[in-house]
Amino acid sequence: MRKSKQFSISITVSAALILFSANAFAISGGDAVKQLSSQAYNGDAASLQTLKQDAMNGDAASENWYGGYLDAKKDYAQAAMWYRKAADQGVANAQINLAMLYANGQGVAQDYAQAAVWYKKAADHGVVDAQSNLGVLYANGQGVTQDYAQAAAWFRKAADQGDGQAQNDLGLLYEKGESIPQNHIIAYALYNLSASNGRSSNNTALTNRDAIVPLMSEAQIKAGQGLAQEMAANGVTAAIGNYLMPRKKITYQKRKHQ
């Protein structure tokens, strides 16, 4: 018997890192603020002072970026304070940054309920990692009542935006038949799609895909491969909807002999 898989939060690390590393977190704001933040992180005292002053003056983007600077320096308590200021002004990226701190217990007491609140705000703004991570909380029952239907809904939104983790996790729901009818063809397609998108989830998706292959016929595997291609071309939700759409049965009348 296969072990039950656990859904896991997509690690977007820390807000500042989108600027300071090749792949990172959620920071918003104009080019001038980004440049200022980069210079501050790299040791420019004048840039840091300007960034801090702009944040203290209530500029929402600067609040988020200054929080990111503090986050990268591992001053999580101060980072949380500045993220909250920006989040309260409706900055979606600050909202997911704050949610991550609550989920990880960095600078604040670990609180999945608060993480869910802030993920939801960011997810409603279309932030893909927030959508994926909110789905994880619903799937695991962390901070919210476990609800696989809600998990699937948020995974779909993120999967349609190309998020590999969400594609993999939605595949898990189809594989296990949680809140949706079990369907190995759809699960296979989602795992294939996730594995091909180049994100860190691809190895997990490959493992998950290969594990269900013995349960499938050659025809089903071929169907899954085709469905994955359609998902890549037309989006996950549209492709699944089209695949599940009842096919009209065509009846042919016998021609009368003349």
What pLDDT, in 10s, does the model give residues 61-107?
999 999 999 999 999 999 999 999 999 999 999 999 999 999 999 99
Is residue 235 a contact partner of residue 160, using CB atoms and an 8 Å limit?
A: yes
pLDDT-based confidence at 246, cuts 50/70/90?
confident
Query: Domains in the chain: how many in total?
Result: 2
Q: Which whole number is the average pLDDT over 15-40?
A: 59
pLDDT at 223: 98
Percent of the chain at pLDDT exceeding 90 = 75
Q: Are residues 65 and 172 in the same domain?
A: no
Is the pLDDT assigned to residue 16 strictly greater than 50?
no
Q: What is the pLDDT of residue 247?
A: 58
Across all residues in the chain, what is the average pLDDT? 87
Same-domain check for residues 21 and 132: yes
User: Which residue has better confidence, 11 or 65?
Assistant: 65
Q: Is 249 inside a domain boundary?
A: no
Predicted confidence at residue 48, as pLDDT, reads 93
250 within domain boundaries: no
C-alpha 95/C-alpha 106 separation (Å) is 15
65 shares a domain with 42: yes
Domain boundary among 100, 126, 146: 146
If asked whether residues 141 and 153 sit together in one domain, one would say: no
- How many Cβ atoms are within 10 Å of 207's Cβ, its own excluded? 13
The pTM assigned to this predicted structure is: 0.84
Residues spanned by the domain of 132: 11-146
Q: Which residue in 198, 199, 197, 171 sits closest to 185, CA to CA?
A: 171
Do the domain assignments include residue 2?
Answer: no
**Is the pLDDT at 22 greater than 60, yes or no?**
no
25 and 114, same domain (yes or no): yes
Amino acid present at 147:
D
* pLDDT score at 29: 58
